[in-house]
Amino acid sequence: MTTKYSKAALTAGLLCLPLFPMTVLAEVTPEQFNLLLTAAEKDGGRDFEILVDLLIAANPEDEADIRQTAAQIRPAPAPTPAPVQTSPSIADGTIFSDSYAEKLSAMFLPGWEKEVEVNALYSTGNTSQKSFGTGTKFFREAGPYQQTVTSYFDLNTSDGITNKRRYGLAFKNDYSINEISYVSGFASFEGDSFGAFNKRLTLNAGYGIRIFDNDTFKLNMEAGPALLMTKPLATDDYESDLTAYASSLFSWVINDRSEFENETKVYVGSRVVIENKTDYKLQISGALSGKISFDVLYNRDAPIDRKKTDTITRVGILYDF
């Protein structure tokens, strides 16, 4: 026969529960009482209800006593923490807020992720000066296709005379074969009145591999043939060169607000061109971000009176919508 005892008597005798009311409690076994008491005191009673259910399942004949005892020693629920008061974003209610950017995106080219950039830049090489630049980037995924459209325009005038004018427009279309590999097509047109070439049309097709592709890191590498149609000087005709092409694109999402990206392109053949572009983006508030970038442009076959290497450092503001 199972021995039972009054919890009130045990409490008063052992002086273990001075805070419990000194009333007659339901009868439970010492083992059941000790288990309930331990569960009530441990981790704020996190597992108390689970233990009550287990004891009843194991001892259905004692259900009434177990529930009555549990009701009297059940720990009080933890108080609900006060809501954290956060300062409103500086972008709230303005054109720079996420809500406004979403509305604007729905009105203009819906389905595309869009970036517009305004920057101050410092260039070295064929031009060594501080000037002004703008840029755009549109991206979308449509089934197996990933499409990117980019543009830029750099301009500087001094005493009413233009001494820097550089612009470009590019389109890239990737088609995913599977999760790892894809084929790519690329076309761009660039003009640089004071650079290592006057105008250039670039066409290339390639096969690409996604070496890393997760929420933090992405690394794509691709290669294939390319056609460069270059006008060295404004008075020259276009020269066509068939080259081999290789590129890499690495991106790193550092945290929820910042991202790093590096892209390298290499064209090798009768004409050699190497481009490396690095940028770091930091979200300021809402759809507004700051951006710092550094470009290195190398053209082995620049005209005799032009330098082969140009660099461009940019500091600007970016708007995502």
Which amino acid is it at 243?
Answer: T
Say how far residue 288 (Cα) sits from the centre of its chain.
Answer: 14
Place of tokens 């309930």: 36
Q: Cα separation of 191 and 167, whole Å? A: 5
Q: Is 268 exposed, middle or buried (0-12, 13-18, 19+ CB in 10 A)?
A: middle
**Whose CA is closest to 275, among 246, 243, 297?**
297
Q: What share of the chain is helix, strand, coil (3-state, %, to 5)?
A: 20, 50, 30
The confidence score (pLDDT) of residue 30 equals: 82
Q: Report the SS3 class of residue 42.
A: helix
Q: What is the DSSP string of 108-129?
A: SSTT-EEEEEEEEEEEESS--E
Cα–Cα distances in angstroms (integers) from residue 217 to residues 115, 166, 214, 263, in the given order: 21, 32, 6, 14
The Cα 316–Cα 289 span in angstroms is 9
| DSSP secondary structure code for residue 60 in this structure | G
pLDDT at residue 3, rounded to an integer: 45
Q: Which two tokens stand for residue 12?
A: 């008063």
Residue ranges and CATH numbers for the domains of the chain are: 5-73 (no CATH), 98-320 (2.40.160.40)
Confidence (pLDDT) at 312: 95
pLDDT digits (tens, 9 = 90+) for 172-192: 999 999 999 999 999 999 999
- Residues of the chain short of pLDDT 70, as ranges, are 1-26, 78-93
Q: Residue 223 and residue 243: Cα distance in Å, rounded?
A: 11
User: What's at 253, amino acid-wise?
Assistant: V
Tokens of 275: 């481009």
- 252's tokens: 């790193």
- Torsion sign (Cα): 126, 128, 132, 138: positive
Neighbouring CB atoms inside 10 A of 20's CB total: 15
Helix (H, G, I), strand (E, B) or coil at 144: coil
Tell me the whole-structure pTM to 2 decimals: 0.69
Q: What is the pLDDT of residue 160?
A: 74
Q: Which of 306, 312, 316, 298 is nearest to 128 (CA)?
A: 312
